[in-house]
A and B are shown apart, each in its own frame.
Chain A
Amino acid sequence: MHRTGALYGQFKTLEQQKDTATLGMWIFLVTEVMFFGGIMLAYTINRHTYFHAFAMGSNTLSLGLGGFNTVVLLASSFTMAMAVWSAQTSKKGLITLFLSLTIFLGFVFFGVKYVEYAQKFHHHLVPGKTFDIFYCVRNPAKCSDIDAADMAKEKEEIEAAVQADPDLNAHAQLYYSAYFGMTGLHALHMVIGAGLLFWLLKESVAGRFNAEWNNPVDIVGLYWHFVDIVWIYLFPLLYLIDRHK
Chain B
Amino acid sequence: MRTEATGPAPEMPEKHYLNATYGIRSWLLTTDHKRIALLYLASVTFFFFIGGFFAMMIRLHLLTPNGYLLTPDLYNRMFTMHGVTMVFFFLIPSIPAILGNFLIPLMVGAKDLAFPKINLLSWYIYVVGGLFTLWSMVNGGLDTGWTFYTPFSTLYSNSAVAPAVVGVFITGFSSILTGLNFLVTVHTMRAPGMTWFRLPLFVWAHYATSIVMILGTPVIAITLGLAAMERVFGLGFFNPAMGGDPILFQHLFWFYSHPAVYIMILPAMGVISELIPTFARKRLFGYHFVAAASLAIAVIGFVVWTHHMFLTGQSTYAAVAFSFLTFIVAIPSAIKTFNWTATLFGGSISFDTPMLYAFGFLGLFMIGGLTGLFLGALGVDINIHDTYFVVAHFHYIMVGGAVMGYLGGLHFWWPKITGRMYPEWLARIAAFILFIGFNFTFFPQFILGIMGMPRRYHTYPPEFQIYNVMSTAGASILAIGYLLPMVYLTWAAFYGKVAGDNPWPATGLEWKTQSPPLTENFEVTPVVTWEAYDFHNRPDLGLDVPAGKGSPGVVAPAHGDD
The interface of chain A, by Cβ under 8 A from chain B, is: 1, 8-10, 12, 16, 19-20, 23-24, 27-28, 30-39, 41-42, 45-46, 49-50, 127-129, 167, 170-171, 173-174, 177-178, 181
Cβ-defined contact, B188 with A31, below 8 A: no
**B520 contacts across to A, CB distance below 8 A:** 9
Cβ-defined contact, A35 with B222, below 8 A: yes
If A31-B217, A127-B234 touch, whether A38 touches B189 (CB-CB below 8 Å) is no
Chain A CB within 10 Å — which of B31, B188, B221, B226 has the most?
B188
Q: Give which listed residue, B111, B114, B221, contacts A35 with CB less than 8 A.
A: B221
**A19 contacts across to B, CB distance below 8 A:** 188
Cβ-defined contact, A174 with B242, below 8 A: yes
Cβ-defined contact, B234 with A1, below 8 A: no
Query: Quick one: CB contact mask for B203-233 with A, threshold 8 Å, 1 for yes?
Result: 0000000000011111101110010010001
**A170 contacts across to B, CB distance below 8 A:** 236, 241-243
**B221 contacts across to A, CB distance below 8 A:** 35
Query: Quick one: CB contact mask for B111-125 with A, threshold 8 Å, 1 for yes?
Result: 111111000000000
Cβ-defined contact, B218 with A35, below 8 A: yes
Q: Give which listed residue, A34, A36, A37, A45, contacts B248 with CB less than 8 A.
A: A45
If A9-B111, A128-B233 touch, whether A181 touches B226 (CB-CB below 8 Å) is yes
Cβ-defined contact, B188 with A38, below 8 A: no
The interface of chain B, by Cβ under 8 A from chain A, is: 31, 110-116, 176, 180-181, 183-184, 187-189, 214-219, 221-223, 226, 229, 233-237, 241-245, 248, 251-252, 520, 525
Q: Give which listed residue, B237, B248, B251, contacts A177 with CB less than 8 A.
A: B237
| B29 vs chain A, min Cβ distance (A) | 13
If A10-B110, A10-B116 touch, whether A46 touches B189 (CB-CB below 8 Å) is no
Q: Give which listed residue, B180, B216, B235, contacts A28 with CB less than 8 A.
A: B180
Nearest CB in chain B to that of A9: its residue: B111
Cβ-defined contact, A23 with B222, below 8 A: no
Nearest CB in chain B to that of A170: its residue: B242
If A23-B184, A41-B252 touch, whether A31 touches B214 (CB-CB below 8 Å) is yes
Cα–Cα distance between A170 and B184 once the two chains are bound (Å): 45
A-B contact pairs, 30 of them (CB 8 A): A1-B116, A9-B520, A10-B113, A10-B116, A10-B189, A16-B188, A20-B114, A23-B184, A23-B187, A23-B188, A24-B115, A31-B176, A31-B215, A35-B219, A37-B218, A37-B219, A37-B222, A38-B223, A38-B252, A41-B248, A127-B235, A128-B234, A167-B243, A170-B236, A170-B242, A174-B237, A174-B242, A174-B244, A177-B237, A181-B229
Cα–Cα distance between A221 and B251 once the two chains are bound (Å): 34
Cβ-defined contact, A27 with B237, below 8 A: no
**A27 contacts across to B, CB distance below 8 A:** 180, 183-184, 214
Cβ-defined contact, A30 with B236, below 8 A: no
Nearest CB in chain A to that of B233: its residue: A128
Cβ-defined contact, A32 with B218, below 8 A: yes
| B406 vs chain A, min Cβ distance (A) | 26
If A1-B111, A34-B218, A34-B219 touch, whether A39 touches B31 (CB-CB below 8 Å) is no
Q: Give which listed residue, A20, A34, A178, contacts B189 with CB less than 8 A.
A: A20
**B189 contacts across to A, CB distance below 8 A:** 10, 20
| A25 vs chain B, min Cβ distance (A) | 10
If A24-B180, A30-B215, A39-B222 touch, whether A129 touches B243 (CB-CB below 8 Å) is no
**A23 contacts across to B, CB distance below 8 A:** 183-184, 187-188
**A50 contacts across to B, CB distance below 8 A:** 243
Cα–Cα distance between A10 and B189 once the two chains are bound (Å): 9
| B519 vs chain A, min Cβ distance (A) | 9
**A174 contacts across to B, CB distance below 8 A:** 236-237, 242-244
| A207 vs chain B, min Cβ distance (A) | 24
| A13 vs chain B, min Cβ distance (A) | 11
Cβ-defined contact, A31 with B242, below 8 A: no
**A38 contacts across to B, CB distance below 8 A:** 218-219, 222-223, 226, 252
Other 15 A-B pairs with CB < 8 A, given A20-B184, A23-B187, A45-B248: A1-B31, A8-B116, A9-B112, A16-B188, A23-B183, A30-B214, A30-B215, A35-B219, A37-B219, A38-B223, A42-B237, A46-B237, A46-B243, A170-B236, A181-B235
Cβ-defined contact, A173 with B236, below 8 A: yes
Chain A CB within 10 Å — which of B115, B183, B219, B236 has the most?
B236
If A1-B111, A170-B241 touch, whether A20 touches B116 (CB-CB below 8 Å) is no
Cβ-defined contact, A31 with B116, below 8 A: no
